């Protein structure tokens, strides 16, 4: 018996070495952790339980039968993050460059199936040279099996991808269909075709980092949600993110202990909005002052900064925040901000996370680039996402809510539950100057008359009361009491249920 136990230990030790010490050293030399080190950092200490440690590939072409390392380039299993169940796979670059074979894919599929059955998030750590070249179409089939599971799991369990090395070709489409993508600066990249192919086809000279590095994908393409300096930081942030999320679409997000009075009064908010309507202010200040302990977990911080998306907690419960940022493009909605916010709203709605919307929006950004780029369709995404959401929704208009953007930003008409406005709110079709120049075009040459018309328009519409008279605003509230009002509103909505008519699925403008 002793021998048998020792043999098992030897086999295990061998499997844990992956592609061998030399390749592990090379991995470390690049500033990267190994697949197992990453799992150890991601999960609670000692909580990892591995599946399929001894699975080996079945390929017999190109001499592959002579090298059949245990595990086949991916470590899979389950464990906990702050005591909550998660499933994980972590590609091992030291084994055939982490490339995906038929059996490698089967290991990933097995834990994805278990995650869906047991209602727990899947976290995928990607570090791979793509399809196992020696296996040909069997490897492509393996990818497609993973893709199909990504699609079926979407909206059922949270799926998080962490890119910690190469992720190229069709392989990018698995992370692309997950809910969040994190990348590590300088060591990870994602692209459909790499720099060499780009050079051949388009004659563009570009490095892998420029084409598909973490900075490119968090600032330009918005493929990724966050970029971090190293593996350790990225994994710590995944743990923080998971804390905000429910385990699946049938459970509420976890309730965390909180030490911040929900009735806290914030006197400084009474002076947050500047006297001059065109002077910007930082909407993040309001966000930090509303959430428990000032904590805010921002999603896509470096992309479309004219809108802010992220998670806070109120009374220990997760709330998704969407807020116009007057500091950038005056808080206008445009293509990028509409897409960013629409996807976030839909994530929250899938997973029963209530949505707080903070509005200061002068309208949609004008211009040919916006129109040619399809701002009509992209803006419609946000409108559609809000109109479709059935989670508790609370909206606070701090200043401008003009035109179509007023409708889009979780207005009463899109079935938001509580619509509050600060006394500084201006709910109107457009700003006073623009409005006057249209309806009093005949007086355009008379500055005195125009000034008077503008003042008349401001007196009539540059306030929240016209909307409040119609019930489009439920209450005009004191800025200093916003946290209390929002907390009470969400508390009253905890049992909200909306029944929608049956349909196969909608046809959101894409
Ligand atoms: C089999 C692979 C592999 C692959 C790397 N290796 N990629 N083995 N299939 N796809 C092996 C290498 O042979 C090498 O083995 C080890 O992994 C490390 O690779 P290196 O090249 O030494 O590492 P590095 O210099 O860091 O370069 C990494 C790399 C490069 C940029 C990823 O290996 C590369 O270009 N690989 C091929 C990428 C590719 O074309 N993949 C197919 C894409 S198409 P040894 O034994 O020497 O350590 C695709 C389609 C998916 O993925 C479609 C889904 C629908």
* Token representation of residue 44: 């609670």
457, part of any domain = no
Cα angle at 234 between 233 and 235, to 5 degrees?
95
**170 included as an active-site residue:** yes
H-helix or E-strand spanning residue 167: strand 166-168
Counting from 1 in the atom list of ligand 1, the atom nearest the Cα of 147 is 55
Q: Is 204 exposed, middle or buried (0-12, 13-18, 19+ CB in 10 A)?
A: exposed
Kindly give the distance from the C-alpha atom of residue 51 to the centroid of ligand 1, in angstroms, as a whole number. Answer: 25
- What integer pLDDT is reported at residue 216 of this predicted model? 97
pLDDT of residue 460: 87
**Domain termination residue (choose one: 210, 244, 278):** 244
Give yes or no: residues 358 and 488 share one domain: yes
Q: Which residue CA neighbors atom 54 of ligand 1 most closely?
A: 170
ipTM: 0.97
Among 115, 120, 153, 405, the active-site one is 405
Residue nearest to atom 32 of ligand 1 (CA): 129
In this structure, is residue 448 part of a structural domain?
no
Domain-embedded: residue 107: yes
DSSP state of 127: -
Task: Specify if 191 maps to a domain.
Answer: yes
Q: What pLDDT sits at residue 418?
A: 98
The per-residue DSSP string of 474-510 comes to SEE--GGGHHHHHHHHHHHTTT--------S------
The rounded Å distance from CA 203 to ligand 1 centre is 24
Does the residue 401 lie in any domain? Answer: yes
Atom 29, ligand 1: which residue's CA is nearest? 129
253 lines ligand 1 (CB under 6 A): no
> Residue 431 has what pLDDT?
85
CA of 99 to the centre of ligand 1 (A): 6
Domain CATH for 486 = 3.90.226.10
Q: Is 143 close to ligand 1, i.e. is its CB under 6 Å away?
A: yes
pLDDT at 2: 87
CA–CA separation, 376 and 210 (whole Å): 30
Q: How many domains does the chain have?
A: 2
Task: Judge whether 452 lies within some domain.
Answer: no
pLDDT at 99: 95
Question: How many residues does this entry show for the chain?
Answer: 510
Are 195 and 284 members of one domain?
A: no
Q: Which two tokens stand for residue 233?
A: 């930081």
pLDDT of residue 415: 96
Ligand 1 site-directed mutation target among 57, 72, 129, most atoms within 8 Å of CB: 129
The C-alpha atoms of residue 437 and residue 443 are separated, in whole angstroms, by: 8
471 as an active site residue: the answer is no
Q: Specify the pLDDT at position 383.
A: 98
For residue 30, what pLDDT is reported? Answer: 96
Q: Are residues 164 and 293 in the same domain?
A: no
Q: Are residues 272 and 240 part of one domain?
A: no
The answer, yes or no, to whether any atom of ligand 1 lies below 6 A from the CB of 131, is yes
Burial 273-310 (b: 16+ CB within 10 A, else e): beeebeeebebbebbebbbbeeebbbbbebbbbbbbbb
Same domain? For 284 and 340 the reply is yes
Looking at the structure, do residues 212 and 359 belong to the same domain, yes or no?
no
Instruction: Give pLDDT tens digits along the chain (510 positions).
Output: 889 999 999 999 999 999 999 999 999 999 999 999 999 999 999 999 999 999 999 988 998 999 999 999 999 999 999 999 999 999 999 999 999 999 999 999 999 999 999 999 999 999 999 999 999 999 999 999 999 999 999 999 999 999 999 999 889 999 999 999 999 999 999 999 999 999 999 999 999 999 999 999 999 999 999 999 999 999 999 999 999 999 999 999 999 999 999 999 999 999 999 988 889 999 999 999 999 999 999 999 999 999 999 999 999 999 999 999 999 999 999 999 999 999 999 999 999 999 999 999 999 999 999 999 999 999 999 999 999 999 999 999 999 999 999 999 999 999 999 999 999 999 999 888 888 989 999 988 889 999 999 999 988 888 999 999 999 999 999 999 999 999 999 999 999 999 999 999 999 999
Domain end marker among 244, 279, 313: 244
Asked if 306 contacts 325 with a C-beta cutoff of 8 angstroms, the reply is: yes
Q: Both 234 and 277 in a single domain? A: no
d(C-alpha 103, C-alpha 73), whole Å = 10
Among protein residues, the one with the nearest Cα to ligand 1's atom 31 is 129
Burial pattern 19-30, b for ≥16 Cβ within 10 A else e, equals beeebbeebeee
* 167 domain residue, yes or no: yes
> What is the C-alpha separation between 494 and 391, in angstroms, rounded?
9
pTM reported for the whole predicted model: 0.96
Per the domain annotation, does 420 fall within a domain?
A: yes
H or E element in which residue 429 lies: none
Distance CA 16, CA 33 (A): 14
Query: What residues contact residue 56 under an 8 Å CB cut-off, 6+ apart?
Result: 68, 69, 70, 71, 72, 103
From ligand 1's centre to the CA of 418, what distance in Å? 53
Domain boundary among 179, 210, 244: 244
The whole-number pLDDT of residue 432 equals: 87
**Distance, CA of 415 to CA of 15 (rounded, Å):** 55
Domain co-membership, 181 together with 305: no
The sign of the dihedral angle between the CA atoms of 381, 387, 392, 396 is positive
Mutate which of 66, 97, 166, 196 to test ligand 1's pocket (most atoms within 8 Å of Cβ)?
A: 97
Looking at the fold, whether 203 and 313 belong to one and the same domain comes out as no
Rounded to 10°, the helix 137-153/102-118 angle is: 10
Note whether 312 and 343 are same-domain residues. Answer: yes
298 and 416 share one domain: yes
Across 341-390, the runs of DSSP E, i.e. the strands, are 355-361
Q: Are residues 240 and 271 in the same domain?
A: no
Which range marks the domain in which residue 333 is found? 267-425+463-492
Whole-number Å distance between alpha carbons of 369 and 376: 12
């Amino acid at each position: 018996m002793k021998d048998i136990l020792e043999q098992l230990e030897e086999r295990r030790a061998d499997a844990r070495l992956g592609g061998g010490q030399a390749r592990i050293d090379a991995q470390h030399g690049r500033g990267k952790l190994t697949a197992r080190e990453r799992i150890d950092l991601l999960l609670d200490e000692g909580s990892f339980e591995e599946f399929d440690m001894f699975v080996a590939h079945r390929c017999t072409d190109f001499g592959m039968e002579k090298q059949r390392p245990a595990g086949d380039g991916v470590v899979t299993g389950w464990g906990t993050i702050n005591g909550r169940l998660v499933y994980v796979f972590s590609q091992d670059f030291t084994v055939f460059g982490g490339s995906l074979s038929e059996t490698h894919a089967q290991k990933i599929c097995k834990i994805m199936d278990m995650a869906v059955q047991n209602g727990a998030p899947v976290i995928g750590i990607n570090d791979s040279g793509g399809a196992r070249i020696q296996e040909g179409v069997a490897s492509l089939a393996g990818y497609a099996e993973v893709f199909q599971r990504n699609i079926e799991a979407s909206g059922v369990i949270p799926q998080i991808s962490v890119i910690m090395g190469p992720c190229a070709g069709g392989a990018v489409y698995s992370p692309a269909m997950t809910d969040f993508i994190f990348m590590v600066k300088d060591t990870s990249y994602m692209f459909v075709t790499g720099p060499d192919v780009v050079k051949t086809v388009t004659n563009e000279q570009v490095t892998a980092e420029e084409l598909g590095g973490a900075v490119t994908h968090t600032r330009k393409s918005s493929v990724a949600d966050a970029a971090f300096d190293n593996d350790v930081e990225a994994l710590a942030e995944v743990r923080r993110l998971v804390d905000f999320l429910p385990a699946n679409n049938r459970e509420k997000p976890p309730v965390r202990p909180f030490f911040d009075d929900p009735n806290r009064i914030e006197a400084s908010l009474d002076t947050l909005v500047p006297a001059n309507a065109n002077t910007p202010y930082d909407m993040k200040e309001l966000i930090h002052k509303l959430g428990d302990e000032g904590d805010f977990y921002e999603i896509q911080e470096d992309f479309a900064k004219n809108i802010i998306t992220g998670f806070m907690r109120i009374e220990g419960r997760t709330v998704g925040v969407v807020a116009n940022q007057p500091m950038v493009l005056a808080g206008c909605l445009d293509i990028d901000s509409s897409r960013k916010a629409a996807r976030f709203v839909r994530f929250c709605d899938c997973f029963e996370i209530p949505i707080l919307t903070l509005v200061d929006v002068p309208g949609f950004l004008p211009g040919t680039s916006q129109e040619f780029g399809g701002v009509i369709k992209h803006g419609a995404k946000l409108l559609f996402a809000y109109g479709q959401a059935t989670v508790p929704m609370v909206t606070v208009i701090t200043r401008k809510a003009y035109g179509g953007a007023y409708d889009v930003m979780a207005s009463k008409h899109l079935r938001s539950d509580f619509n509050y406005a600060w006394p500084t709110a201006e709910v109107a079709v457009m700003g006073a100057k623009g409005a006057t120049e249209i309806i009093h075009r005949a007086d355009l040459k008379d500055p005195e008359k125009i000034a008077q018309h503008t003042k008349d328009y401001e007196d009539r519409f540059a306030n929240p009361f016209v909307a409040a008279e119609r019930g489009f605003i439920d209450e005009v509230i004191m800025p200093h009491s916003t946290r209390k009002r929002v907390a009470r509103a969400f508390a009253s909505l905890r049992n909200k249920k909306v029944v929608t008519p049956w349909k196969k699925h909608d046809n959101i403008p894409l």
